[in-house]
Amino acid sequence: MGKIKTIGILTSGGDAPGMNAAIRAVTRGGIYNGFNIKGIYRGYDGLINDEIKPFTTENVSGIINRGGTILKTARSKEFETPEGREKAYKNIQDEGIDALVIIGGNGSLTGAMIFAQEYDIPCIGLPGTIDNDLYGTDNTIGYDTTLNTIVECVDRIRDTAQSHERIFFVEVMGRDAGFLAQNSAIATGAEAAIIPEDSTDVDQLQNFMERGIRKSKKSCIVIVSESPKCGALYYADRVKKEFPGYDVRVSILGHLQRGGSPSARDRILASRTGVGAIEAIMQGQRNIMVGVRNNEVVYVPFADAIRSDKPFDRKLITVLDELSI
């Protein structure tokens, strides 16, 4: 790999508020430092199908406050195959792209890691996911906005829960991580959070019913982290069967958690990591994610960033338990 002149940028996987701010930062930071920038549309599918266009500062003007991603995004099945990645690399060569910046979550960075192992192309990742499950960065782009969206929704649901004396199970996103559920539960004064990190042999629902609702409250909020096996509907059905005296409702917040204008925190995080990606390329870094830890920009190898054991502060569980009496 010779001197890097042109950088390609793409967004992949689920959209997250702040992705546009990251696109803007990479584009403007790259142009400021003398690079050519090319935008790749629709994630890795865009690499395979050659949906690539030159980017200028005008392309990213006025987007820092917009949710979603102007580059569009997709989950690419074809890129998971060696043949798909071969097509992608050929288009990279034809377009004269010397390095890639990938904004996305666990799956997107896994794809970048595999691609970089197979071909001589520096890949730099930015942590763009609402789940906050990437290792090595305190927060991911989109997490703060989504957390605030959940809090706003749950505050409204509580009005109804109290008026009708109901138990509401509110399901939030997070994939295999409970950061959104636990922290939104604390922020909204919820009575309980059911999260993957607390999945012990102890029945979380039984504990909650015995400790809280059965003693003192007719209405309450329980935040449940999404799960294909035991989400909010599962727990609501159990309460209806095991504790038939309670009026139970379910609210699955769904995709409204992804949208909306990014918070100031997410705009700043996206801007810092976007500029950090350009700095990393200039330093000769490759195959790393740019994150922020303890307010310092850090470089995290892909293999570490995609680990599934990001530390979860179990003291947060204690905080919620003590405040939900």
249 is in an annotated binding site: yes
d(CA 95, CA 99): 11
Please, is 321 exposed, middle or buried when counting C-beta atoms within 10 Å of its C-beta (0-12, 13-18, 19+)? Answer: middle
d(CA 126, CA 164): 44
d(CA 157, CA 204): 22
3 state DSSP class of 308: coil
272 is in an annotated binding site: no
Our answer to whether residue 133 is catalytic in this structure is no
Contact (CB, 8 A) for 8 and 94: no
134 is in an annotated binding site: no
- From residue 145, give the alpha-carbon distance in Å to each of 6, 68, 152, 186, 268: 32, 12, 11, 16, 12
d(CA 198, CA 315): 12
Which residue carries 């520096």 as its tokens?
A: 122
130 is in an annotated binding site: yes
217 is in an annotated binding site: yes
108 is in an annotated binding site: yes
310 is in an annotated binding site: no
3 state DSSP class of 50: coil
51 is in an annotated binding site: no
184 is in an annotated binding site: no
**Among residues 15, 45, 98, 131, which one is catalytic?**
131
241 is in an annotated binding site: no
75 is in an annotated binding site: yes
24 is in an annotated binding site: yes
For 166-302, list the strands marked E by DSSP.
167-172, 192-194, 220-225, 248-252, 288-293, 296-301
Please report, in range form, the residues annotated as the binding site for Mg(2+): 106
Please report, in range form, the residues annotated as the binding site for substrate: 129-131, 166, 173-175, 226, 249, 255-258
Please report, in range form, the residues annotated as the binding site: 14, 24-28, 75-76, 105-108, 129-131, 158, 166, 173-175, 189-191, 215, 217-219, 226, 249, 255-258
Please report, in range form, the residues annotated as the binding site for ATP: 14, 75-76, 105-108
Q: Catalytic site residues?
A: 131
Please report, in range form, the residues annotated as the binding site for ADP: 24-28, 158, 189-191, 215, 217-219
